[in-house]
Structure 1
Amino acid sequence: MRTQSWFYMLLALALLSSSQAVSAGPTTEKLATDKIPQDEQGFVNAVSKLKPAEIIALLGEPARAEDVKLKDSGRVVASIWHYHNINKDEQGAFYPTTELDIIDDQVSVIVFLNNDGSDASQGQTYEVQPYEGQPF
């Protein structure tokens, strides 16, 4: 727990000091529903098992991507990806934004937002555990 708190503090400092936004073009509006579910829990369970390259292969490039780099080496240690209109809430309405927080080539947090992604404080958040093994 103490190491996790330290890591999140370091990540926040790195984000504040050296973040770089990258515009990655339009997002995929439709999921391959035979590969990844659109409902919250199904999506979380599926995506938590995938590497970033696999996510891009299924969903396309994110609409917005922001990398967190170490100031001294420039190495990317985390990324924040936004996709639009890919997940549905319990009533079947699309969330405007789905945020994937990626640390060390693994999805660590998934947030479903009812806005364009500019306000991440209001949304449904899932923290996922690293997955060992084959996806699906």
Structure 2
Amino acid sequence: MKIEKVINNNVVSALENGREVVVMGRGIGFQLRAGMDIPGELIEKVFRLDNPGVMDQFKSLVQKLPPERLQISAEVIQYAKGVMNKKLNHNIYLTLTDHINFAIERYQKKMLFSNPLLREVRTFYREEYL
């Protein structure tokens, strides 16, 4: 896998079989440049998104947030895949990561909100809510 662009010290954009992916790993972007191979031992997570527009949005989001928030999102998605045993839309990496980031920012600013749709969510998405 070759680096296409270093996004930050922990995230790079790369090409995998001619397809763009976002690769995460501690220090993966440190001292590496475009065109270099990514050492396999540095790869922790590979994000593959089908839509190029969504991939660009995801890369832009990843540049702005701490790597822990991306890790939280990846762990939640992995857990959901295992528990629900359903295929999830790849866009969930962008939408959930953005949602988690925004929720943490609001919490840090003490901007707490109640969810007026909580009862409906419990009713209509019973399996997902549990």
| TM-score higher than 0.5 | no
Q: Which protein has the larger Cα radius of gyration, Structure 1 or Structure 2?
A: 2
* Structure with the bigger percentage of helix: 2
Q: Which has the higher strand share?
A: 1
TM-score (structure 2 length as normaliser): 0.23
* Relative contact order, higher structure (CA 8 A, sep 6+): 1
The normalised TM-score by structure 1 is 0.22
